[in-house]
Structure formats: C-alpha cells, structure tokens
Structure 1
C-alpha cells in the first residue's frame, strides 16, 4: 500500500462521545470507516480527536491526552518503516562508539571541571549505566523524575567500589544503578564539593558555574562522533546487545515455537529490568526485532572468546549486518 501524508489541520472525522462525525459534521455511517476507527483503538480519554478520512494516511488519528499532550496514532506501515529506519540508525551509532569512547577518555583525563570534561562524564555514565538524558520540566514538583542531567547531589553515593545512584526515574520508579569508573568518580567528587549544588552536573568557566542540559549532551555527542545521536540510541543499542547475548545462551535448534517464545519473553524481562521499562516496551522500542527474528530462524550471535565489550558489540553488529 502506498501511503499518503496526512494533514491533521485538514478536515477529518471527529469523535463526539460515542459517535463519529464525517468531514461535513454529519453522523458517520460508512461501515468500512467505522470498522477502521474501531481497529485504531483510540484511547477513550483523548479529547479533540481528529481521524484521518483516508485509510492510507500516514497519521491515522490525533488527540489530546489527560495531561494535555498531543498524541498521534500512525499507520502500521508507516510505523514499521520508521522503526526500521530507527534501528538502522542505531547500527550507525554503534559503529561510531569506539571513536566516541576514545574522545571520552581524552576529555576525562583533565583535572578541572571544564565543559568538555563534565559532558564526557555524563556521556560515559549514559554508556555504562543506561541512563536517560533527563528533562528539565520533569525534574520539578513533588512528583519529579530524573535523568542523568537533572540528577541532584543526594542521588549519588561515592563508595570504595564506585558510585551508587538512587533516584526516581521515569514513571516514578526508583532506580538503583551501580557504576564503577575511576575517571567519572573523580569528576563527581569534584562536583560534590562546590557550594552551589542545585544540580549534580555543572561545569565551570571564566564566568562561573553552568548546569548541564540535554541539548549540551546532544551537541557533545554529535561533535565527538560526527553523527546525530542521543541517549536513547545508547539504550537501544545496549538493549539489543544484551538481548542478543541472552538469546545466544539458548540454542534454538530443534526447539518448539512455544518454547522459543517463552525464551524470548524471559529475555525481554531481563532486558526490561536493565532499562527500567516494561518487557512490552523493551521488545517494541529497544531491542532490534532482527535479533528475535534471527533467533526464531535458528541463528544467534557467536560470543567472542575474549569477552571484551568491543569484540562483543562487533559480533552483534556483524550478525545484524548479515541479516
């Protein structure tokens, strides 16, 4: 099916209570259109709902949720294309990680809390601890949630073995994450000594202290790697690698489909625990579906003998590039 670009500002079907109106504001009676609307499963709580009158529109429905945010339902074919593009981009990100990690090591080798050194510490934590980048708006109020850039000094404890982070993450779930890294630990020790400690991560220049924000992180990532990348790309790649390694522990040869599905479900639960997400979200949004498809086809990654991070990631990259 060839999709067409939708325009939610153009006339469309509307929802009024349990009824639907056509583009002219009259009750919608077309059985095919009503069946398509039912299949979209538009959340009942959505307000100001617009529905594309064309079944080939790339956006099928738009509405405002209970929090006042505009939400979209996309055509299945469009969503599949976007998902494939996303995972292909993540493979490009994975290929740049060795270059990025060398830059992190150089920037972290300094002694002063410069912008580059502090940003390198933030990115190293994203790489090692699967942190979300953080959102300034979500870090406010009684129900505040945090990501790496919005962490407060009380969210980290420096121990002999490394750093322990404990904070309310997305969804209000308390996240506990232990990270061992001497360079990052040295940066955090410096930052925790400063007088103004409203945020954990800040850098100092000739004009004083400045907090780190998500835009700073994204700009650093682009400059250090040469391509656009985000914290979510790290989470997606590491979730894919972890899933590939866990599936490789279970030989799919001669195993029934039911048992393979159980194995996949168990793996997704483990990946979700690392991410701080649900298994459904881990499978739908983070683990490259080609890893699961290959497992069902009897193919798993060959884990390198060295067991090094670089070699393991290269093995997963090779597996996906050959699929």
Structure 2
C-alpha cells in the first residue's frame, strides 16, 4: 500500500484502530480461566503437553494466589519440585552469626517475637536500653530491623543474646532509599507495629513495647529473613495491598512495576519457587525455558481469559 503511494502514517493509524476493535472482539469471545482444572490445561498445553508442569503451575497459583510471586529456578534433582515460602520473606540475613540459636541448621528461630522497626542506623546502645528492659520483663524474643546496626550497639546485643538475658536478633532493612522506607512500612502493617522514624519526630529512646510489631514466628538464615503469621489488622493489610495495586497501574517503569509486584506478593500471597529437575545441562535449559513460557501463558490466561485456538477465534 505504501509502495503504491499511500501515506504510511494514515496506514499506521488505521492499523491501530483495527487492533483496538480486534482486541475488543477477542475479549467478548474470551472465557475466564479461574479454576484449577482450566489453569492446569493452559499450563499443560503451553508446556508442550507436559501434564506434570501444568499441574505444578496450577498448584503454585493455588497456594500463593494470583498476586503471589512464582519464580522458576534450576533444581538439584531429576524431578520438578514446588517450594512455597509462607509469610513475608526479604533478602537480608542476621547481622552476626552469634545470634544463631539453632546451630544444627545454622539459623535463628524466634517464636512469638516482638519486632522493632527503625528507619536509621543504630550505633549507640543507650537508644535501645528502655525497650530492652521492657522485652526482658515480657520474656519474649525481639527482632530488630533497621537501616544498620553497628559498633557498641551490635556488640552489646550479641553479649546479651549469648548470655541468655534477652533472646534477640538483628537484620538490616530490605531495599534502599524510598523503597526501604516503603518496605519497612509494609512490615509494620503486616505485624501491627510502627516504624520509628526521625522524619516523623519519633525518638528511639522513648519507644514503648506498644510501638512494636508482633508475629507468630521469624526464621533468619545467613541470607534471608522470613516473618510468618504477622499479627497485623486484616483491613489495614487489604488497604495497603490496594494502594500498591494502584501504584502498579500508575507506574511507567518496568523495574518499579517488578519491585511493586514483589511487595504485593509478600503482603498478599507469598512466594512459590518452581525447581526444574533434569539429567543434563542441555535438558535443564530446555525444560526451564518451557516452564517459564508455560507460567507466562498461564498468568495471562488467568488475567484475561482464553479463546479457542486453531484459528477459530479469527473465523468467529
């Protein structure tokens, strides 16, 4: 058409209009993909008729919800595996190995802990004395999440932990800059606590036990912290989830959207890891790519529905 003299911009505008009409017609033909059977079928077809992959994707989506994060990793065995992390997990480990209270597995485990969230570096132990006294009286463990914790403050906490005076652990807050502030706020809502911030004229020395968050359990490894069973208000969590969804819609950056989706998953669903098993490296690459394609197709089907294949949708 352009070769015969048609204006290319007019042609583009025409194509754009036709695309909008075609998409609207396809939406009318689409069928919701909402139950596990339909999700399994889409995953199976997208994975070249591999029913095991389809079932695994369906199980993952069932466990973490449509907003949950599902990642695909290379497994260590021959079989595909599904691992689900319940609760909120972020990639920050313990600040000192001396906090470890499960030496056989090299982890810190805190049952029914209080959680102190601080949006600054802590280096002076005097700022923590008041809250440590309250924690010692309560008999419960304490998790400190802060921008950093160093020097005298860290050394004193380690000594208190090793002597059994207070069961305690400390980790750095996840993220950087404004993203760190947002993630601290997410954790505070999940655990029904407050973020101690100098920007809000809050003094760490005057912090009371009522300002702390709570959870049923916290597990800390060298690299990760998982908060399980946060005692946050369900309505507050729901409002926060809706706020993040709104930010995702308004965001124009793919990177920001990815990070917001991760925050959404941590608050609303959880994280599922699909571990792909294979006998050789070549087979691993092929299977992993297949599982990733199937996962993307299944997510799209759940969001927007499915239409009949084989050119049937085009004919209709």
Q: TM-score scaled by structure 2?
A: 0.23
In our comparison, the structure showing a higher alpha carbon Rg is: 2
Q: TM-score scaled by structure 1?
A: 0.22
Q: Which has the higher strand share?
A: 2
Q: Which has the higher contact order (CA 8 A, sep 6+)?
A: 2
